[in-house]
Structure 1
Amino acid sequence: MKEATTMVVVGADVHKRTPTFVAVNEAGRKLGEKTDTAITAGTPRR
């Protein structure tokens, strides 16, 4: 029996201070979103 395949697309909106990533399925339904704070290498997180 063959397993079903689902396509997931991940998009990135990369800004200097707040990159955002979003995943959508093949129907365009949003599966998840993550926005974070960008840091410079060597800088401790707050």
Structure 2
Amino acid sequence: MAFAEEYQTFMNAHLQARTGERLRRLQEGHKHAEKLFLKQVLWPLFHHFR
């Protein structure tokens, strides 16, 4: 699976699992820097987010 597909699956799973303040912080706080970290650091190492 490509990064974009895996990232969207990862985010959807976390958005569904969170409530209240954790959900709000994930929605408002997960921006460019967090996505860039996942893409440039974790993705090349593991090729998944499980």
Same fold (TM over 0.5): no
Q: Which protein is richer in helix relative to its size?
A: 2
**Rg larger for:** 1
Q: Which protein is richer in strand relative to its size?
A: 1
- Normalised to the residue count of structure 2, the TM-score between the two structures is 0.21
Which structure is higher in RCO with an 8 Å CA cutoff and minimum separation 6? 2
- Normalised to the residue count of structure 1, the TM-score between the two structures is 0.22
